[in-house]
């Protein structure tokens, strides 16, 4: 955890905020290891006497979530994922644990996100289709749709995965401090490693067969990027604290998409930009069907399509779930997003892109092009 980012973003206790006990700025209570202003191991503490909740910093990643026990029970094994095992031993372990297990799911996830984020810099990667960099191309297109805006001092990359888009934001906005936010601890560790000049991951060949890839990288602006583990539905930041928010293919991966939209609108400073992408690829284990934005019934006037439903949430103040304060700057309804699963499989999404601006309340419709 970079001290510079800790000071600039000033996180508060999400446990107190969620309980309605106000905003209490976290204190750095313990430093176990530090290098050049980067706290590698330590503890954050809520100063509220009625709370005193502790948040660990592990491998340089502060874990700032209200329900720490739940996150660590679900994702704590990510902390133990190693990249220094002999490839033959790693293969043996993977075979022994077997398909469909936590280890198999974790390796597949890391392989997919690491490949899309970093394989273009891997000298061992052969050219061909699909091409890595789908998330980066999506981000670049959203920046085009957004156009110029306020100077970006603080940016959040929500659902940052392996972190390449976080570094891209830093490269595009030279004055910005960027935070990559995710709860995938293994991916956050990989992203931090990239910031330190090295990417190492097990690239899935097929089935349970993987190849260890390790190579040097030098992302532009790495010294202005940090990675934190936070719940995107309970972010520990004050209202108006971000000039730019990116949320690429995240909306359909949270329990409350409407809650995420409202939270992002509140986090943006006036005239701040929101770069949003979603393929509406709903899954009941991530989002209850009642919370889906489209997709749960073909009997509606739009046949279940997500785009009209999302526009209604942002445009119609009378809608019972409306989200106010966001104005449309640009939109692309059919952006192709393809990424690799293994040597013989890829997934292709048709993604809806929206570039939005934080508007003042009472200044017109959220999706009114005349206000863009």
pLDDT at residue number 150:
86
Residue 150 sits in the same domain as residue 113:
yes
For residues 175 and 229, membership in a common domain is answered with yes
Q: 77 lies in a domain?
A: no
Residue 120, pLDDT score: 97
User: What digits encode the pLDDT tens for the residues 45-93?
Assistant: 999 999 999 999 999 999 999 999 989 888 877 876 677 777 888 888 8
Say if residue 90 is in the same domain as residue 150. Answer: yes
Domain that holds residue 52: 1-64
| pLDDT value for 299 | 59
Quickly state the pLDDT bin for 366 (edges 50, 70, 90): very low
Same domain, 56 and 86: no
Residue 11 has pLDDT above 50, yes or no: yes
The pLDDT value recorded for residue 309 is 77
Pair 120, 212 in one domain = yes
* pLDDT exceeds 50 at position 133: yes
281 and 151 in a common domain: yes
Task: Compare 74 and 108 and report the one with higher pLDDT.
Answer: 108
**What average pLDDT does this structure show over 101-116?**
94
One domain for residues 222 and 281: yes
The count of domains in the chain is: 2
Does residue 249 share a domain with residue 313?
A: yes
Residue 103 scores a pLDDT above 90: no
pTM of the model: 0.92
The burial class, CB within 10 Å (0-12 / 13-18 / 19+), for 269 is middle
List the CATH number of the domain containing 162. Answer: 3.40.50.150
Q: Is 258 in the same domain as 119?
A: yes
For β-strands 225-230 and 154-158, DSSP reports them as unpaired
Question: Are 111 and 228 in a shared domain?
Answer: yes
Query: Is 70 part of a structural domain of the chain?
Result: no
pLDDT at 319 over 70: no
Residues 166 and 232 in one domain: yes
Q: Are residues 238 and 304 in the same domain?
A: yes
DSSP string, 112-138: HHHHHHHGGG-TTPPP-SSPS-HHHHH
Residue 305 lies in a domain: yes
* Mean predicted confidence (pLDDT) in 156-177: 97
Q: What are 182's strand-pairing partners?
A: 229
Q: Three-state DSSP class for 30?
A: strand
């Amino acid at each position: 955890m970079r001290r510079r980012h800790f000071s600039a973003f000033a996180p508060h206790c999400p446990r107190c905020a969620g309980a309605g006990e106000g905003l209490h700025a976290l204190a750095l209570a313990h430093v176990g290891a530090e290098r050049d202003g980067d706290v590698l191991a330590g503890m954050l503490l809520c100063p509220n006497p009625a709370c005193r909740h502790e948040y660990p910093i592990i491998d340089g990643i502060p874990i700032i979530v209200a329900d720490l026990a739940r996150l660590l029970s679900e994702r704590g094994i990510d902390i133990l994922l190693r990249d220094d095992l002999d490839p033959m031993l790693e293969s043996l372990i993977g075979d022994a644990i077997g398909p469909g297990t936590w280890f198999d799911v974790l390796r597949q996830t890391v392989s997919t996100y690491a490949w899309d984020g970093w394989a273009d810099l891997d000298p061992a990667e052969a050219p061909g289709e699909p091409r890595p960099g789908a998330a980066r191309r999506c981000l670049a297109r959203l920046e085009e749709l957004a156009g110029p805006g306020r100077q970006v001092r603080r940016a959040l990359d929500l659902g940052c995965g392996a972190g390449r888009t976080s570094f891209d934001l830093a490269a595009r906005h030279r004055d910005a401090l960027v935070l990559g936010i995710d709860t995938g601890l293994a991916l956050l560790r990989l992203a931090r490693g990239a910031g330190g000049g090295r990417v190492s991951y097990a690239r899935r060949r097929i089935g349970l067969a993987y190849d260890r890839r390790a190579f040097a990288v030098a992302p532009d602006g790495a010294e202005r990027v940090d990675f934190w583990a936070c719940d995107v539905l309970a972010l520990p930041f004050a209202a108006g604290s971000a000039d730019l928010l990116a949320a690429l293919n995240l909306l359909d991966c949270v329990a409350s998409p409407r809650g995420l939209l409202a939270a992002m609108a509140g986090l943006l400073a006036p005239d701040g930009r929101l770069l949003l992408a979603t393929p509406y690829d709903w899954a009941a284990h991530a989002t209850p069907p009642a919370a889906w934005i489209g997709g749960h019934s073909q009997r509606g006037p739009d046949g279940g399509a997500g785009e009209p439903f999302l526009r209604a949430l942002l445009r119609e103040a009378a809608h019972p779930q409306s989200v106010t304060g966001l104005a449309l700057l640009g939109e692309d309804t059919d952006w192709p997003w393809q990424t690799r699963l293994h040597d013989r499989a890829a997934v292709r999404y048709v993604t809806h892109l929206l570039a939005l601006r934080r508007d003042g309340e009472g200044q017109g419709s959220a999706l009114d092009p005349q206000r863009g």
